[in-house]
Amino acid sequence: MAQAAVAHVEGQQHPIKLYLVVWGWLFVLSTCSYLVDYFGLHGYLRWSLILLFMILKAGLIVAIFMHMAWERLALMYAILVPPVLVLVFVGIMVFESNYTLFTRIIFFGPGP
Amino acid sequence: MADVALANTGAAPTRPSGWQGIAADWSSDQRAFKNVSWGKAMMWIFLLSDTFIFSCFLLSYMTVRMSTTVPWPNPSTVFALTIGGTTIPLILIAIMTFILISSSGTMAMAVNFGYRHDRVKSAALMLVTAAFGATFVGMQGFEWTKLIMEGVRPWGNPWGADQFGSSFFMITGFHGTHVTIGVIFLIIISRKVLRGDFDREARGFFTSRKGHYEIVEIMGLYWHFVDLVWVFIFAFFYLW
């Protein structure tokens, strides 16, 4: 909190080293997610690794590069909570597409 | 003075933190976002709305991919490139990812140097960012050309489900548009930085408001968001 108070004297002031470290981590994580495809991992291992690296990368970008980690909670929650609700939409559409697939298989023959 | 008070994110009196802070900030008069200027708050809210737009694209992609009875084309081979006789899967997309991440790194440092009033470094880093962005768009143009030559259309393709083409052109096209707009604004703002507009607090020609180095950070928010969207596109469209 003391740091947050100082940071707003003029905008955000952080050491350049922090950005370089995050940059390095983003490179490492991107390489990892590329290697998932390169080594042809499949099934739940592939999907969970893709999601893990994606969330870590997204978190680093939002928290450090976009300075969200140093903002007040009022802004943080106002911006970060609504996208989480998209997951409800995802759930609805998963349900919907399973139904569409089901009817297609019933009426047009076997699926993949 | 009134103008300064509005634009300045200034040293605030001690405010409660945690849940009490949220309740206090939102229930107080006038401003919910206490130490964030309207410009930055509005950029965040714009980015939130853009998040929903890209969410809808990715969701519709998910829906068509899950509901088709025809196998989905394998992105790993569709986006493979043959370099020096060896075919490397997805290599073009990997390079594009690294380019965009690098551009985010240079942008973050441009914001930092901007707040230190280091005009030349800030503007130079923004121009490097713009160059990375332009490279990215160029590679996307190459990718589109390659796929169109191979017969990918929004209504069909040689490898599988027809919906592949429409999802691909819609999602990457919209993202590429965002990058292009970002490059244009990066060039405009780096010119302002280099000219010293924000040291003199010169008024913008469109808003007539006094310029501050915070504009570099707001530009940075947009640019990092473009990178952020690519993280999701990379994971869901290219890797899944």
> The whole model's pTM is what?
0.88
Per-residue pLDDT at B191: 94
Report yes or no: B220 at the A interface, CB cutoff 8 Å.
yes
Give me the residue from B18, B115, B225 closest to A12, CB to CB.
B115
Q: How many residues does chain A have?
A: 112
What DSSP element (H or E) covers B148?
A: helix B119-149
CB atoms A54 and B115 under 8 Å:
no
Q: Compare B133 and A7 and report the one with higher pLDDT.
A: B133
Alpha-carbon span A42 to A44, nearest angstrom: 7
Per-residue pLDDT at B1: 41
CB atoms A23 and B71 under 8 Å:
no
Q: Which of A88-92, B14-18, B110-114 is least confident? A: B14-18
Q: How far is B125 from chain A (nearest CA, A)?
A: 13
Scanning the structure block, which residue is given the tokens 């405010």? Answer: B15
Alpha-carbon span B26 to B51, nearest angstrom: 23
CB atoms A65 and B108 under 8 Å:
yes
HSE value, Cβ hemisphere, 13 Å, CA-based, for B127? 11
Per-residue pLDDT at A10: 64
Chain B, 103 to 142: residues with Cβ < 8 Å from chain A are 104-105, 107-109, 111-112, 114-116
Summarize pLDDT for A37-96 with one digit per residue, the tens: 889 888 899 999 999 999 999 999 999 999 999 998 999 999 999 999 999 999 999 999
Residue of chain A with shortest Cα separation from B24: A74
Residue B9 and residue A11 in contact, taking contact as beta carbons nearer than 8 Å: yes
Residue B22 and residue B196 in contact, taking contact as beta carbons nearer than 8 Å: no
User: Within 10 Å of residue B231's Cβ, how many Cβ atoms?
Assistant: 26
Provide the mean pLDDT of chain B. Answer: 90
Chain B, 194 to 213: residues with Cβ < 8 Å from chain A are 213
